[in-house]
């Protein structure tokens, strides 16, 4: 069974640009969550999608958005990039309920110059 796939693995952008990251969950998993990992803040929850609906949202500005498609694939978008958005963005998928284990992808490393 294929794991969680994130594309691209690495990305370099400049301030003010926007970026879209993609995540394909494990087959059969309907919940997709996104996390940001930085050296100073650790792993922080961005949002979770389930059946194409945002079920939960973390404390990030509105520049961070996401969506989920009918096949459970998810994208997250960051508009008007800032230097502080440089981070590892991780996607995780789980079956459905809150007590299901989340399985993570390898992440997308975003560098904002």
Phi, then psi, of 83 in degrees rounded to 5: -55, -35
106 binds other proteins, rule: CB under 8 A: yes
100 binds other proteins, rule: CB under 8 A: yes
Among 21, 78, 92, 112, binds other proteins (CB under 8 A): 92
7 binds other proteins, rule: CB under 8 A: no
Q: What is the DSSP string of 69-96?
A: -TTS-EEEEE-S--GGG-EEEEEEEESS
Binding footprint of other proteins on the chain (CB under 8 A): 4, 6, 31, 33, 35, 42-45, 48, 50, 55-56, 58, 90, 92, 94, 97-107
């Amino acid at each position: 069974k294929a794991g969680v796939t994130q594309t691209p693995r690495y990305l370099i952008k400049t301030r003010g640009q926007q970026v879209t990251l993609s995540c394909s969950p494990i087959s059969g998993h309907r919940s997709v969550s996104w996390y940001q990992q930085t050296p100073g803040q650790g792993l922080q929850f961005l949002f979770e999608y389930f059946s194409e609906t945002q079920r939960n949202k973390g404390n990030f500005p509105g520049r961070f958005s996401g969506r989920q498609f009918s096949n459970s694939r998810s994208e997250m978008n960051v508009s008007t990039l800032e230097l502080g958005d440089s981070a590892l963005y991780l996607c995780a998928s789980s079956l459905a309920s809150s007590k299901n284990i989340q399985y993570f992808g390898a992440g997308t490393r975003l560098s904002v110059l």
